Amino acid sequence: MTAKVVVLTGGVGGAKLVLGLAGVMAPADITAIVNTGDDFRHLGLHISPDIDTLLYTLSDKANKAQGWGREGESWAFLDALRSLGGEDWFLLGDGDMALHVLRSHRLAQGDRLSAITADFAKAWGIGLTVLPMSDDPVATCLDTDVGMLEFQRYFVERRCVPAVSRIRFEGSEAAVPAPGVLDAIGEAEAILIAPSNPYLSVDPVLAVPGMREALRDARAPVIAVSPIIGGKAVKGPTAKLMAELGITPDNDAIAAHYAGLLDGLVIDEGDAAPGNGIPVARTDTLMTTITDRRRVAQAALDLARAIGRR
């Protein structure tokens, strides 16, 4: 398949799908549009967790067991930081610091996040295009039973314990898609939504003005890979969050969430299809091995091809 494919993605789950995709088609034809709602400043550094997860995963540097950060990471920086009384709730590995320091330095010099990300991907030999959803700041903020929390404070510092009542994407109304985002969507033959958290990882991408319109206007079918397996989200706080928001964690909810955008849904072979009659493909959607990732990616591509251009 030489047709171009776009993936809207958050961090870990999305990176697995993108890696699988790069195993079944030409990486040069893949564009990953990555959530930056999790981005935040910490110790004066600009940290882009989802972009970093993509970069580590696609350059084979990711710590697979841990699910974040670099394989073989060391922690001398954090140890020294602790000895100085610095904030240590966000775990910054020694090697990991390079991305944050260089990114922050270049942003301060006026470079765009998209240009910096492209340079990082090129330096690490990543053959596909990794685009932030926007070069403008968007901050995922959660109203919780302990007050408003920025995403990393909720996700890392509080370990998703607070009950969430509302999710907002601050700054999104003023954000514009990063250079290349709308063109990639327009030129794609398939648009995939990764099995990332729909509310925390995909919604920030969809909240960037122009993004929903571009997806609706695209000639390519939009296919989501459901993050639900057996009534549970595979990873992270998706199921807990859905319960708190009063949503049953099933494929009906996923289909409803992406209503108006979606042309097809890849679901786990053990789960019920949504009742709205949307075309589905079934496979084992748990992406443990690289074979799993390729299978799920291929299932999504096959469904897109079966549906064809709109």
Q: Which of 1, 3, 26, 97 binds a copy of itself (CB under 8 A)?
A: 97
Residue 203: which residues within 8 A CB-CB, separation 6 or more?
Answer: 37, 167, 169
Cα–Cα distance, 307 to 310 (Å, whole number):
8
Considering the complex, state which of residue 38 and residue 96 has its C-beta at the smaller distance from a copy of itself: 96
39 binds a copy of itself (CB under 8 A): no
137 binds a copy of itself (CB under 8 A): no
Cα–Cα distance, 18 to 225 (Å, whole number):
12
DSSP states along 61-98: -B-TTTSSSBTT---HHHHHHHHTT---SS---TTHHH
What is the per-residue binding string for a copy of itself in 152-191, x denoting contact by CB under 8 A?
----------------------------------------
74 binds a copy of itself (CB under 8 A): yes
95 binds a copy of itself (CB under 8 A): yes
Considering the complex, state which of residue 50 and residue 268 has its C-beta at the smaller distance from a copy of itself: 50
Q: Which long-range contacts (CB under 8 A, 24 or more apart) does 170-174 make?
A: 170/138, 170/139, 170/140, 170/141, 171/136, 171/137, 171/138, 171/139, 172/37, 172/138, 172/204, 172/207, 172/208, 172/209, 173/209, 174/136
Considering the complex, state which of residue 45 and residue 223 has its C-beta at the smaller distance from a copy of itself: 45
Considering the complex, state which of residue 99 and residue 188 has its C-beta at the smaller distance from a copy of itself: 99
Q: Which of 67, 112, 119, 158 binds a copy of itself (CB under 8 A)?
A: 119
259 binds a copy of itself (CB under 8 A): no
Nearest-10 Cα torsion for 271, 7, 213, 39? 100
Considering the complex, state which of residue 119 and residue 143 has its C-beta at the smaller distance from a copy of itself: 119
Paired tokens of 38: 């999790």
With contacts defined by CB under 8 A, how many residues of the chain interact with a copy of itself?
A: 32
115 binds a copy of itself (CB under 8 A): no
94 binds a copy of itself (CB under 8 A): yes
- Report phi then psi at 300, rounded to 5: -65, -40
Which residues are near a copy of itself by CB under 8 A? 43-45, 70, 73-74, 76-81, 83-86, 93-99, 101-102, 104-105, 108, 119-120, 123-124
